[in-house]
């Protein structure tokens, strides 16, 4: 004897079967996770204070044509534009953070460069043309406007790029001024106490 199922139960079972058929396995996204295995690409240690290290970084960026957008005692940022191709525009933003290394006089400089890539895109213009009782029609014309559109953005990880920057930063680094110890003036010889002091006779006057 077949078991009797109410209409509500049949409807629920039918809905679950349809839902199961519509479920698809999620797509596997290929992603290379951050390994955090290198601590030397973006960092260098310098025997100077935070302010001196960031000042050297600011001068290094200025010497290479970067437009400095931020500069203080612990942060420097600059941007530079490149055009590797006629329709490709690249902007590099380099940020340097200066942090004191422990309790000593040395400073760790953290550098990170972000590269934005833009491509030249042509945007077609359209104009409305009146056609009497039919109203207006939007028709494309051959004229177009060029616009830069961001197509990629990535953090630079090339060790050679950062090596060259840190070497240049070290050239502009001014070491701390050596404080000189004041030298005492030479002391005058003490008067002799071997015998009684004798008065010095006055010099003869000229008459």
pLDDT at 177 over 80: no
- Token reading at 23: 């479920």
pTM of the model: 0.60
Report CA-CA distances (Å) from 127 to 132, 138, 141.
16, 5, 7
For the segment 179-202, the average pLDDT, to the nearest whole number, is 53
Cβ atoms 101, 43 nearer than 8 A? no
pLDDT at 121: 83
Higher pLDDT, 89 or 195: 89
pLDDT at 24: 53
When the candidates are 3.30.310.80, 2.30.30.240, 3.40.50.620, 3.40.605.10, the CATH number that belongs to 38-119+150-171 is 3.30.310.80
Query: What does the mean pLDDT of the chain come to?
Result: 76
For the segment 109-133, the average pLDDT, to the nearest whole number, is 77
Confidence of residue 196 (pLDDT cuts 50, 70, 90): low
85 SS3 class:
strand
For the segment 70-87, the average pLDDT, to the nearest whole number, is 94
> What's the CA gap between 160 and 113, in Å, rounded?
13
Cβ atoms 145, 122 nearer than 8 A? yes
> What's the CA gap between 144 and 127, in Å, rounded?
12
Which residue, 151, 31, 43, is CA-closest to 96?
A: 43
- Token reading at 114: 């972000």
Cβ atoms 74, 110 nearer than 8 A? no
Higher pLDDT, 31 or 180: 31
Cβ atoms 54, 96 nearer than 8 A? yes
Counting residues of the chain whose pLDDT is more than 90, the rounded percentage is 43
Range of lowest pLDDT (3-12, 24-33, 164-173, 174-183): 174-183
pLDDT at 136 over 70: no
Confidence of residue 179 (pLDDT cuts 50, 70, 90): very low
pLDDT at 67 over 50: yes
The DSSP result for 168-196, as a single string, is: HHHHTPPPPPPPPPPPPPPPPPPPP-SS-
CA angle, 116 as apex, 110 and 122 as ends, to 5°?
A: 170
pLDDT tens digit string along 107-118? 999 999 999 999
């Amino acid at each position: 004897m077949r078991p009797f199922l109410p209409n509500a139960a049949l409807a629920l079972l039918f809905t679950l079967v349809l839902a199961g058929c519509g479920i698809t396995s999620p797509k596997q996204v290929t992603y290379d996770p951050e390994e955090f295995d290198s601590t030397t690409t973006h960092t260098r240690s310098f025997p100077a204070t935070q302010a001196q290290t960031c000042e050297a970084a600011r001068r290094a960026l200025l010497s290479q044509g970067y437009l400095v957008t931020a500069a203080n005692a612990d942060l420097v940022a600059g941007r530079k534009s490149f055009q590797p191709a006629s329709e490709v525009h690249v902007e590099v933003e380099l940020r340097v953070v200066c942090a004191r290394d422990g309790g000593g006089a040395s400073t760790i400089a953290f550098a990170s460069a972000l590269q934005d890539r833009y491509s030249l895109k042509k945007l077609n213009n359209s104009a409305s043309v009146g056609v009497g009782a039919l109203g207006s029609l939007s028709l494309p014309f051959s004229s177009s406007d060029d616009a830069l559109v961001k197509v990629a953005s990535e953090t630079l990880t090339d060790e050679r790029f950062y090596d060259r920057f840190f070497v240049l930063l070290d050239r502009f680094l001014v070491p701390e001024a050596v404080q000189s110890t004041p030298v005492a003036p030479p002391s005058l010889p003490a008067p002799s106490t071997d015998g009684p002091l004798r008065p010095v006779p006055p010099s003869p006057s000229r008459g």
